[in-house]
Amino acid sequence: MKTYLIDTFNIGFGYPQHEPWTIGGLECRLESIHELLSSRNPKLDTTDDIFKELISTYNTAVPVSTVTTNADQDIFQKASIAFQQAKTIFSKFMNDQYSWSDGSCTWLDSAQTSTNERRHDDILTYYYRDRHMQSSCSIIITCLATLTDEGNGITLSIGSVVNGKMCRIPIGHYSTTQNYIGEFQKYFLTELNNLIVSIAKERRAILQ
């Protein structure tokens, strides 16, 4: 909860070089905070259950240069490794019902990208199979690394755009000198589940 609240405040007030919250993006974040405060549906305790909720919102199966210093490049490279390793562990310990489109984390290099933020888009696909049907659901998962203006801290987040809204979930805020990769991996799956819950709720709201 503390990470969510600090990250929400920082995006709104603490990072003047970043784009401010959109109304839709802030709505998604507030909804995610509400999810933390409320008792979650016991049927949404696992990634499989959450994806089944998400896939039910689809009518059919869904197929699915900035200049930086060397120091900044090293910081973002470390964040890239953290995301890549977390996705690898996810794939290893989950069964063959899940796949990433590439499983890597290569930061986009774009003139529109802030000098202190990097992003990478990957596609996570869930394959649902039982005796009666087979289906799949693919969603774009955006990995984000945001460096503080002072350059001594970095926030790692995941997000996805739903109905024009960027639902963004913070995973953790770390010192750039900290060996945070192990700690980050512990929270990656939890926050990935929280993001998928947000996506499912947004899609459900569209259908109502």
Residue 147's pLDDT is 92
Residue 64's pLDDT is 42
The total domain count for the chain is: 1
Q: Model confidence over 114-167: pLDDT tens digits?
A: 678 999 999 999 888 777 778 889 999 999 999 988 889 999 999 999 888 899
CA distance 70 to 192: 30
CA distance 166 to 161: 4
Residue 4's pLDDT is 81
Taking 70 as the pLDDT cut, the residues of the chain under it are: 14-19, 39-45, 57-72, 109-114, 208
Range of the domain at 62: 2-14+25-207
| Other Cβ atoms closer than 10 A to 129 | 11
Residue 40's pLDDT is 60
Considering the domain boundaries, does residue 20 fall inside one?
A: no
Residue 106's pLDDT is 92
Considering the domain boundaries, does residue 161 fall inside one?
A: yes
Residue 29's pLDDT is 80
Considering the domain boundaries, does residue 198 fall inside one?
A: yes
Considering the domain boundaries, does residue 19 fall inside one?
A: no
Considering the domain boundaries, does residue 144 fall inside one?
A: yes
Residue 63's pLDDT is 42
Considering the domain boundaries, does residue 88 fall inside one?
A: yes
Considering the domain boundaries, does residue 75 fall inside one?
A: yes
Q: What sections of the chain are H helices per DSSP? A: 2-9, 23-37, 47-55, 70-93, 181-207
Residue 203's pLDDT is 86
Residue 42's pLDDT is 59
Residue 122 parent element (H or E): strand 117-129
